[in-house]
Chain A
């Protein structure tokens, strides 16, 4: 036994350890969950973008994705359900030098927090909003969300969902976001590149990332983890510049990915400076 013990080498450092609260591992995310992959992309993007770690802040709401802030070794804030964006808004306005990342889920950002999302986009608040869309409320056991496809089964739509989902890029574009993209967590490099680009781009940036929730959503919709990943591979098509009105998710036909909006307009802080602080 002793000889065996001597052979054990210290565990190698993970390349993201500098940005991880390793003392909080293991994380709460289930096997097969896609959030960790997106979180990892986000940390890689922070490193690649060369932004100042000390002035980079991650804000989350409530839910599985909302736990992201708790694992990032940044100034990180785990706020109330749906309120990550207005919390981040106050912080950004108070100190425009901060780089704001809002990392949260579809339920948090688009049901309870939907109003805050559209207004932050309208104001062009300078922040990057990453929405992990797993089509349901995972933390509470798999209820219907504002993103759940029609007919899908969840614990609150046991007979099938009678409602239709939001087309998030369309909503973001209509609200005034200056960057809008959609990827799946399988498109790791695209996700990382998008986030890296947005971290130094001024304005309200929105990145939707589809991610599987095999335990709660997949189980009730006859979709195993690997099935979801296969859908991400086989049913998606990348069309940069596609009209956001045309990118509603339909896994039976196809799901359009890509960067749909990448424009410039003055941010809230710039406009406030120009109009209210001029002299």
Chain B
């Protein structure tokens, strides 16, 4: 008997496998991919599972093609996904931009490894966080999530699909090798308990339809190819008809929609976990696998009587700027823990605005940061 899309039950899964199961639970029916360590298992799992649920897996010739294929599949009406790691993520940037410009829902998973270039293919890092934010050319807003466990990547993948369908853009899951290859218990709930969201389809006269005429919520309904709307979709700057419009005014209107649909909905999009922040004088900021280090450091510091809390970023982009600014009034210092040499740290520093010290506990990549290093940083702040 075939397995259903939602594999309700208790499982022991790697993060990569849990990600694939989350995609299937969200209703993903198309995966276009290319093998790369440490994300290959996402593709492998999808290649096995998609035919069972009536979907299609295709291994493309490179990551450029993989990204293009999921945009095409999305415009054919399917929820679509790809997964990759650093080098492939670089190749996907061009068509992530096309996805942003044409407002195409899809999900891109980056199981990060240490770079630059080929780097340390089998070892984890979080060095692509700024690339996730700004990697494609031009100005835009993006949504990027960071999972801290196999259980969380399962739910985050569903969430990523829901956000991409709601706000019509590629949503990034910024996992890392540590989470991707870690095996933990993953509980998959009953299918009825999983909330999924699908893009709003247009109504009304097909001949009068304009593909970028936004609804009251700032997001345009999206038809599929084959629905009879005869839409034109282009990566050129376009007007509400979807037609190229080579003027600064048209650019202004299009950019306002692309940017504001995110900026005006930050409360709906941004998710954080706040742990022992009420009385915290030192606030750790972390995400993904590094947040696991941060939890341990909070416990250790509290045992020493130091008032430490954790702000865990579940949504890394958009960055929870307002929250960090507010916390800067209360905190003596922020300590950002991430496996790079200072990326989200820069955002924390910016939002701390000089009111609180901003310290980085970073790592060049290839290993998880031990809690002792965080504890040392905390002790150094106390000593000052």
A binding-site residues for B, Cβ under 8 Å? 21, 23-24, 53-55, 57, 59, 69-70, 73-80, 82-83, 85-95, 97-98, 115-116, 119, 268, 272, 276-277, 279
Task: Answer yes or no: B78 CB below 8 A from chain A CBs.
Answer: yes
For A75, what are the chain B residues with a Cβ–Cβ distance below 8 Å?
Answer: 75, 225-227, 229-231
B94 and A93: CB pair below 8 A? no
For B69, what are the chain A residues with a Cβ–Cβ distance below 8 Å?
Answer: 86-87, 89-90, 93
A119 and B61: CB pair below 8 A? yes
| 12 A-B pairs whose Cβ atoms sit less than 8 Å apart in the complex | A24-B243, A69-B232, A73-B230, A75-B225, A79-B68, A89-B60, A90-B71, A90-B74, A92-B72, A93-B73, A94-B74, A95-B76
A91 and B232: CB pair below 8 A? no
A90 and B243: CB pair below 8 A? no
Beta-carbon contacts of B209-248 to A below 8 Å, as 1s and 0s?
Answer: 0000000000000001111111111111000000110000
B226 and A57: CB pair below 8 A? yes
For B54, what are the chain A residues with a Cβ–Cβ distance below 8 Å?
Answer: 277
Instruction: Output the nearest chain B residue to A95 by Cβ-Cβ distance.
Output: B76
Task: Answer yes or no: B280 CB below 8 A from chain A CBs.
Answer: no
Instruction: Point out which of A70, A93, A94, A98 has the most chain B C-beta atoms below 10 A from its C-beta.
Output: A94
A94 and B29: CB pair below 8 A? yes
B binding-site residues for A, Cβ under 8 Å? 2, 29-30, 32, 51, 54, 56-58, 60-62, 64-66, 68-78, 80, 94-95, 97-98, 224-236, 243-244
B225 and A95: CB pair below 8 A? yes
For A70, what are the chain B residues with a Cβ–Cβ distance below 8 Å?
Answer: 232, 234, 243-244
Instruction: Output the nearest chain B residue to A97 by Cβ-Cβ distance.
Output: B226
The one of B229, B232, B235 in contact with A21, judged by C-beta atoms closer than 8 angstroms, is B232
Q: How far is the CB of A210 from chain B (nearest CB, A)?
A: 27
A79 to B65: give the CA distance in the assembly, Å: 12
Instruction: Output the nearest chain A residue to B62 by Cβ-Cβ distance.
Output: A115
B226 and A54: CB pair below 8 A? yes
A115 and B61: CB pair below 8 A? yes
The one of A78, A95, A116, A119 in contact with B235, judged by C-beta atoms closer than 8 angstroms, is A78
Instruction: Output the nearest chain B residue to A99 by Cβ-Cβ distance.
Output: B226
B226 and A86: CB pair below 8 A? no
For B234, what are the chain A residues with a Cβ–Cβ distance below 8 Å?
Answer: 69-70, 77-78
A90 and B32: CB pair below 8 A? yes
A76 and B232: CB pair below 8 A? yes
Task: Give the number of residue pairs across the A-B interface with Cβ within 8 Å.
Answer: 146
For A55, what are the chain B residues with a Cβ–Cβ distance below 8 Å?
Answer: 226
Q: How far is the CB of A88 from chain B (nearest CB, A)?
A: 6
A70 to B232: give the CA distance in the assembly, Å: 6
Instruction: Point out which of A21, A82, A91, A119 has the most chain B C-beta atoms below 10 A from its C-beta.
Output: A91
B32 and A78: CB pair below 8 A? no
A82 to B65: give the CA distance in the assembly, Å: 10
Q: How far is the CB of A46 from chain B (nearest CB, A)?
A: 12
B73 and A83: CB pair below 8 A? no
A93 and B56: CB pair below 8 A? yes
The one of B76, B230, B233 in contact with A90, judged by C-beta atoms closer than 8 angstroms, is B76
Instruction: Output the nearest chain A residue to B224 by Cβ-Cβ distance.
Output: A95
Instruction: Output the nearest chain A residue to B65 by Cβ-Cβ distance.
Output: A86
Instruction: Output the nearest chain A residue to B69 by Cβ-Cβ distance.
Output: A90
Q: How far is the CB of A1 from chain B (nearest CB, A)?
A: 35
B233 and A77: CB pair below 8 A? yes
Pick the 7 closest A-B CB pairs, nearest first. A90-B72, A90-B69, A94-B76, A86-B65, A91-B72, A86-B68, A94-B73
B233 and A78: CB pair below 8 A? yes
Q: How far is the CB of A2 from chain B (nearest CB, A)?
A: 35
For B70, what are the chain A residues with a Cβ–Cβ distance below 8 Å?
Answer: 90
A76 to B225: give the CA distance in the assembly, Å: 8
A80 to B64: give the CA distance in the assembly, Å: 10
A276 to B50: give the CA distance in the assembly, Å: 9
For B65, what are the chain A residues with a Cβ–Cβ distance below 8 Å?
Answer: 83, 85-86, 89, 115-116, 119
B226 and A80: CB pair below 8 A? no
A92 to B225: give the CA distance in the assembly, Å: 10
Contact flag A57-B225 (CB < 8 Å), given A70-B243, A86-B65: yes
For A87, what are the chain B residues with a Cβ–Cβ distance below 8 Å?
Answer: 68-69, 71-72
Instruction: Point out which of B54, B71, B95 has the most chain A C-beta atoms below 10 A from its C-beta.
Output: B71
A93 to B225: give the CA distance in the assembly, Å: 13
Contact flag A89-B232 (CB < 8 Å), given A24-B243, A115-B62: no
The one of A54, A59, A94, A119 in contact with B60, judged by C-beta atoms closer than 8 angstroms, is A119
A54 and B228: CB pair below 8 A? yes
A82 to B73: give the CA distance in the assembly, Å: 17
For A74, what are the chain B residues with a Cβ–Cβ distance below 8 Å?
Answer: 230
Instruction: Output the nearest chain A residue to B30 by Cβ-Cβ distance.
Output: A94
A276 to B2: give the CA distance in the assembly, Å: 12
Contact flag A90-B98 (CB < 8 Å), given A77-B75, A78-B234, A79-B68: no
B2 and A93: CB pair below 8 A? no
Additional A-B contacts beyond A76-B232, A86-B32 (16; CB < 8 A) = A54-B227, A57-B225, A70-B243, A74-B230, A75-B229, A77-B234, A78-B232, A83-B95, A86-B65, A86-B68, A90-B70, A92-B72, A93-B73, A98-B225, A115-B65, A276-B57
Instruction: Point out which of A23, A97, A276 has the most chain B C-beta atoms below 10 A from its C-beta.
Output: A276
